[in-house]
């Protein structure tokens, strides 16, 4: 999933979090408002990275478990529903990018793509009927 070089860089960066927390507890640092502000900002950024990386690791683990279930199913009756596995994969991906559920977007995303103009028109009655009869 994540390239090893990126994973290593993230883990090295997160290793600084305890050091920043210790500095924020140091009375000498607390006497310097600029240092407190700088360290506070670093702490916030590192804490957010830690949260996102933890969520990514959980999603990655869920994906591995779903793939393992799919691969170890011997009997067709025991085979998990392909749609369920696809949902788990999609959920993991959308969790990675910050969406709440598959198909959602993170809160910082805009609803439109740049340069695409107006959103597409709603489906015609023929398209809706075709969808209903094929289901």
**pLDDT, tens digit (0-9, with 9 covering 90-100), for 60-109:** 999 999 888 888 775 555 555 666 667 766 666 555 555 555 555 555 55
What's the number of domains the chain is made of?
1
Write out the residue range of the structural domain in which residue 76 sits: 4-104
pLDDT at position 2: 86
Q: For residue range 18-51, what is the model confidence (pLDDT) as tens digits?
A: 999 999 999 999 999 999 999 999 999 999 999 9
Residue 135 lies in a domain: no
* 125 pLDDT higher than 80: no
Residue 62 lies in a domain: yes
7 or 93, greater pLDDT: 7
Q: Is residue 28 in some structural domain?
A: yes
d(C-alpha 91, C-alpha 104), whole Å? 10
The Cα 80–Cα 72 span in angstroms is: 10
Q: Is 92 exposed, middle or buried (0-12, 13-18, 19+ CB in 10 A)?
A: buried
Confidence band, pLDDT 50/70/90 cuts, at residue 135? very low
Would you state the pLDDT for residue 68?
Answer: 86
Backbone Cα Rg of the chain: 23
Q: Which pLDDT score, from 0 to 100, does residue 15 have?
A: 97
At CA 69, angle to CA 63 and CA 75, rounded to 5?
A: 155
Cα dihedral sign for 68, 66, 93, 56? negative
Q: Which residues contact 106 (CB under 8 A, 6 or more apart)?
A: 97, 98, 99
**pLDDT of res. 116:** 47
Asked if residue 52 has pLDDT above 70, the reply is yes
Residue 42 lies in a domain: yes
pLDDT at 8 over 80: yes
Q: Is residue 110 part of a domain?
A: no
Query: Distance between CA atoms of 107 and 112, rounded to whole angstroms?
Result: 13
């Amino acid at each position: 999933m994540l390239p090893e070089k990126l994973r290593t860089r993230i883990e090295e960066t997160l290793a600084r979090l305890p050091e920043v927390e210790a500095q924020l507890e140091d009375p000498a640092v607390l006497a310097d408002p600029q240092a407190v502000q700088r360290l506070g900002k670093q702490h916030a950024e590192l804490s957010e990275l830690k949260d996102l990386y933890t969520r990514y690791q959980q999603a990655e683990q869920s994906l591995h478990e779903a793939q393992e279930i799919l691969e170890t199913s011997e009997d067709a009756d025991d085979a998990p529903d392909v749609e369920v596995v696809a949902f788990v994969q999609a959920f993991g991906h959308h969790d990675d990018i910050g969406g709440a559920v598959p198909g959602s977007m993170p809160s910082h995303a805009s609803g439109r793509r740049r340069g695409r103009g107006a959103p597409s028109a709603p489906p015609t009655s023929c398209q809706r009927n075709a969808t209903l009869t094929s289901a």
